[in-house]
Homo-oligomer: A and B are copies of this chain.
Amino acid sequence: MARRRVGNPLALAVLSCLAERPMHPYEISTTLRERGKEQSIKLNYGSLYSVVDALQRHGLIEARETGREGRRPERTVYAITPEGLAEFEGWLSELLSTPVKEYLSLEAGLALMPALAPDVVARLLGVRADRLRAQLRELDAMHDEARAKGLADLFLVESRYRQHMLAAELEFVEQMVSDLRSGVLPGVKVWARIHELRDGGVPVEEIFADPVRHLGEEGRMLLPPR
């Protein structure tokens, strides 16, 4: 997979605008905003200008006119090059066809959660579930409103995707909370016991050094698998 010379997805959005017609960077930013693309692609000025610069350095876009009106700051209008158009279509195709590993923040949280006691985690995830439900309601309202305005579903696809993924997360979190509370998830009992011991003053290192002594037979699962 030949790595893209300019990696920021914002660069792709810039190319998408310039594929329509030449624009200056600020116009690109307002265009993306109007179309709601900044919901899907992180946009901030610093990145925008450095990305435009990088695209130019690599010959994917080129400066057309650079004029000024009154004593306003200069405006440079850029146009896409044939190589830029090829890069755009290739990159977009790859984005659609090839899943990439994304580091979700909840995944990090779940990976480290044993550092907190299981009942605490259950409570925190419960709060998360509430917030997810609120976000889903907001998205629903937004979609209804957009529909009422006559916006075609085609332009809501990315938002529907976000909603779908949010709903999936909620489903997982709800299941998790119930598994934690009921204690059916293998390992939770031991996990809870470790935190009880720790709160009672036993250093965690010591528990791990000889789990079976502190936790009984179930502690065996903490030993390194042969």
User: A interface vs B, CB < 8 Å?
Assistant: 9, 12-13, 16, 19-21, 37, 39-42, 88-89, 92-93, 95-100, 102-116, 120-121, 124-125, 127-128, 131-132, 135, 149-155, 157-158, 161-162, 164-169, 171-172, 176, 185-188, 190-191, 204-205, 208, 221, 225
Contacts and interface: CB of A to CB of B under 8 A. Distances in A.
A113 B125 contact: no
A189 B208 CA distance: 63
Given A115-B16, A204-B20, A158 B107 contact: yes
B187 A104 contact: no
Nearest to A126: B97
B187 A103 contact: no
Given A92-B115, A100-B105, A111-B158, 6 more contacts: A12-B108, A37-B112, A96-B125, A99-B166, A110-B161, A157-B185
Given A104-B165, A187-B153, A204-B20, A158 B110 contact: yes
